[in-house]
């Protein structure tokens, strides 16, 4: 969400150009979005790692065993 907000802020700033620098609204919006982005990353980094990255890494540990199962099954059935 914040990446799209950054693009919107940059587009607004580019659209208003020199007119936007007089009142500073586009710059203030861009600054607010940058702060929101930084705060969001800080706030969500830990929970994201705990709820998404760590479980995925645990599941990836099983892939070699899962890939070995058809080979074992094939060896067992043809003996």
Instruction: Spell out the per-residue pLDDT of the chain, length 79, in tens.
Output: 567 888 888 888 788 766 655 667 777 888 888 888 888 888 988 999 999 999 999 888 888 888 788 887 777 776 6
Q: pTM of the entire structure?
A: 0.51
**Residue ranges covered by each domain of the chain:** 2-77
The sign one gets for the Cα dihedral 18, 21, 26, 32 is: positive
DSSP secondary structure of 7-55: HHHHHHHHHHHHHHHHH-HHHHHHHHHHHHHHHHHHHHHHHHIIIIIHH
pLDDT at position 47: 92
Q: What is the pLDDT at residue 55?
A: 92
């Amino acid at each position: 969400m914040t990446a799209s907000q950054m693009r919107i802020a940059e587009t607004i700033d580019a659209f208003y150009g020199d007119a936007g620098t007089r009142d500073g609204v586009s710059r203030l919006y861009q600054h607010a979005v940058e702060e929101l982005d930084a705060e969001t990353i800080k706030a969500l980094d830990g929970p994201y790692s705990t709820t998404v990255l760590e479980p995925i890494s645990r599941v990836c540990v099983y892939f070699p065993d899962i890939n070995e199962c058809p080979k074992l099954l094939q060896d067992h059935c043809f003996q």
